[in-house]
A and B are shown apart, each in its own frame.
Chain A
Amino acid sequence: MYTFSKKLKTFSIILMVLGLLGVGFGFITSHKSFEQVEHLLAEEESHHGGGHGAASHEATSNHDTHAVDTHAKSGHADAGVDTHKKHVEHVQHQIANRPWSALYVAAFFFMMIALGVLAFYAIQIASQAGWSPVLFRVMEGITAYLLPGALIVLAIAVASGTIGHYNIFIWMDPEVVADDKLIQGKSAWLNIWGFTIRGLIFIGGWSLYRHFARKFSIAQDTAEDKSNFKKSFRITAGFLVFFIYTESMMSWDWIMSVDPHWFSTLFGWYVFASMFVSGITVIALVTIYLKSKGHLEFVNENHLHDVAKFMFAISIFWTYLWFSQFMLIWYSNIPEEVTYFVTRFQAYKLPFLGMVVMNFVFPLLLLMNADYKRIPWFVVMAGLVILFGHYIDIFNMIMPATVGDRWFIGIPEISSILLFAGLFIFVVFTALTKAPLLVKGYPFRKESEDFHY
């Protein structure tokens, strides 16, 4: 049995406390009055000079969601609309959105790691993989974060539209919808009750599978026959079907709807690739950590090699989907869908292109060599870059729609990461102490222990 080391527990609690303080600071400093924002803009204008200010203004007004946003806010005003007032209110809203979005991005990022691991775990069982059973308990430990993590994501999303002032999802704002024919047309799907109920169904389905898979896995340890293994195999097949539908819908609801005027058909797959590769990377990191502490003597470098191969391959799969989505939209250049990438190119050039380097070029070159895939510190290094890259990926999906060009990776963002990283470590390593780290009665255990590449 693994015991949660005191050091790590303290570390995770420190992360959570620091994160909470930072998140609180972010919320306190983001409430700016109209005059304060006006003053801030005037200062920026004089600081940067007129040319730059005009350019950044143009960049924000290109973004349809915000055009709608400001449009709605001033919809009741007369024909002689004060463009200055509209602009200031627009910026004020963006500044207020920042801590919400920072929290949401980090919460989603850690939730999707757990969900990606659950999908990977299910695929290993369904395909009756012979190499991975020694890692099953690590995967089960990581998926323990799914239920709390997903509930937190849903809670933040709903809270942003009920407690907050529609800080993440613009379609939750009745004033915006009243003025927007496009969102009205989608309101049969995009309404807050539907959103909440669908979210609860997704989370319920995933957590039920996780609960029973874990239960059968532990029951198989002491069982005389293979009935638990068979039951687990059957529910896994069902879960994978459920998962691929709900994952798609979840990505429309929880991510794509931040830009309610935009849509993309392969978006669900794209989000899936991101969560899958992050999940596999975290399996590798947790495995290497536990092995370095001497808890996984049955895991050898061949298992690490296989996990690293998955990191390599799925990184390329992610790039394939990212590029397919980007290139199809870039090539046809249809105004209603290309705005999505125009905003990202104008205001997010570094994160947008930097993410491709971190998620593709870096793992491609580092993890191509078979020998490097067997060196723990090498895999850890590549893994940290991949994880950071996929955080930026989620950042690029949410931020341009909510804070526009007012983005920065500062205290609200870093604190949110710390908060959820601490929670993630705490939940995962607590779950790891609940059961032995080797699946005893699993039919492929012996094959997995002797696995040799």
Chain B
Amino acid sequence: MEASKVIHAIYTDDDVLMSAVKKVKAERHHIEEIYTPFPVHGLDKAMGLAPTRIAITAFMYGLVGLTVAITMMNFIMIEDWPQNIGGKPSFSYIENMPAFVPIMFELTVFFAAHLMVITFYLRSRMWPFKEAENPDPRTTDDHFLMEIAVHGNESELENLLKETGAVEINLVDKAH
């Protein structure tokens, strides 16, 4: 395994960071990762990240929840043991449907919300005993860090990053 090098450029202002990202992208360098202490609006667009599809998964999870609710109550209340409970019409699902709507609604929301959160954890690789991947603890407080891979163009990159207003530029060995 060969150790490759990355440059860590550190900024102290999100506006400076944004313009730096635009400049680095304009020079056609690939940004590996950016670490920020809080969401910076428009950063994903500036970096050219693909939009998230998590809303689409949530919609499909909701449909699953709705199906579960309908199948479950149809089996229990209509097919398995259609009792007369207080005169409610248990002859077919549609006839007694208004009574089932609260459960249909709640299960739809339950499935959509929980499965979407779990999807988010899986895709972001987050779990309780996960080792933190923070290159510099200051990025959780008031510093912004941009990581760019180096392919033998260190001095060119360093000059470019200095121009963009980086307060600190470190060359780091990164084990793969």
Q: Which residues of A contact B (CB under 8 A)?
A: 323, 326-327, 330-331, 333, 368, 370
| 12 A-B pairs (CB sep. < 8 Å) | A323-B98, A323-B101, A326-B98, A327-B98, A327-B99, A327-B101, A330-B98, A331-B98, A331-B99, A333-B87, A368-B59, A370-B55
- By beta carbon, the residue of chain B nearest A330 is B98
Q: In the complex, what's the smallest C-beta–C-beta distance from A185 to chain B, in angstroms?
A: 30
Of residues 51 to 110 in B, which have CB atoms within 8 Å of A's CB atoms? Answer: 55, 59, 87, 98-99, 101
Q: In the complex, what's the smallest C-beta–C-beta distance from A341 to chain B, in angstroms?
A: 11
- By beta carbon, the residue of chain B nearest A369 is B55
Chain B residues contacting A326 (CB-CB under 8 Å) are: 98
Nearest 5 pairs between A and B by C-beta?
Answer: A327-B98, A330-B98, A331-B99, A323-B101, A327-B101
Interface centre among B98, B99, B101 (most CB of A within 10 A): B98
Chain A residues contacting B101 (CB-CB under 8 Å) are: 323, 327
- By beta carbon, the residue of chain A nearest B42 is A452
The binding surface of chain B is classed by DSSP as helix
Q: In the complex, what's the smallest C-beta–C-beta distance from A337 to chain B, in angstroms?
A: 15
Chain B residues contacting A368 (CB-CB under 8 Å) are: 59
Q: In the complex, what's the smallest C-beta–C-beta distance from A453 to chain B, in angstroms?
A: 11
Q: In the complex, what's the smallest C-beta–C-beta distance from B55 to chain A, in angstroms?
A: 8
Give Cα A330–Cα B99 distance, bound, in whole angstroms. 9
Chain A residues contacting B87 (CB-CB under 8 Å) are: 333
Give Cα A330–Cα B55 distance, bound, in whole angstroms. 35
Chain B residues contacting A333 (CB-CB under 8 Å) are: 87
- By beta carbon, the residue of chain B nearest A327 is B98
Chain A residues contacting B99 (CB-CB under 8 Å) are: 327, 331
Give Cα A368–Cα B59 distance, bound, in whole angstroms. 10
Chain B residues contacting A331 (CB-CB under 8 Å) are: 98-99
In addition to A323-B98, A327-B98, A331-B99, 9 A-B residue pairs with Cβ atoms within 8 Å of each other are: A323-B101, A326-B98, A327-B99, A327-B101, A330-B98, A331-B98, A333-B87, A368-B59, A370-B55
Q: In the complex, what's the smallest C-beta–C-beta distance from A152 to chain B, in angstroms?
A: 37
- By beta carbon, the residue of chain B nearest A370 is B55
Q: In the complex, what's the smallest C-beta–C-beta distance from B94 to chain A, in angstroms?
A: 11
Q: In the complex, what's the smallest C-beta–C-beta distance from A344 to chain B, in angstroms?
A: 14
Give Cα A327–Cα B96 distance, bound, in whole angstroms. 11
Q: In the complex, what's the smallest C-beta–C-beta distance from A171 to chain B, in angstroms?
A: 31
- By beta carbon, the residue of chain B nearest A333 is B87
Chain A residues contacting B59 (CB-CB under 8 Å) are: 368
Chain A residues contacting B55 (CB-CB under 8 Å) are: 370
Give Cα A369–Cα B55 distance, bound, in whole angstroms. 9
- By beta carbon, the residue of chain B nearest A365 is B59
Give Cα A331–Cα B55 distance, bound, in whole angstroms. 35
Give Cα A370–Cα B87 distance, bound, in whole angstroms. 44
Q: In the complex, what's the smallest C-beta–C-beta distance from A115 to chain B, in angstroms?
A: 30
- By beta carbon, the residue of chain A nearest B87 is A333
Q: Mark B35-55, 1 if CB is under 8 A from A, else 0.
A: 000000000000000000001
Q: In the complex, what's the smallest C-beta–C-beta distance from A371 to chain B, in angstroms?
A: 10
Chain B residues contacting A327 (CB-CB under 8 Å) are: 98-99, 101
Q: In the complex, what's the smallest C-beta–C-beta distance from A317 to chain B, in angstroms?
A: 14
Give Cα A370–Cα B98 distance, bound, in whole angstroms. 30
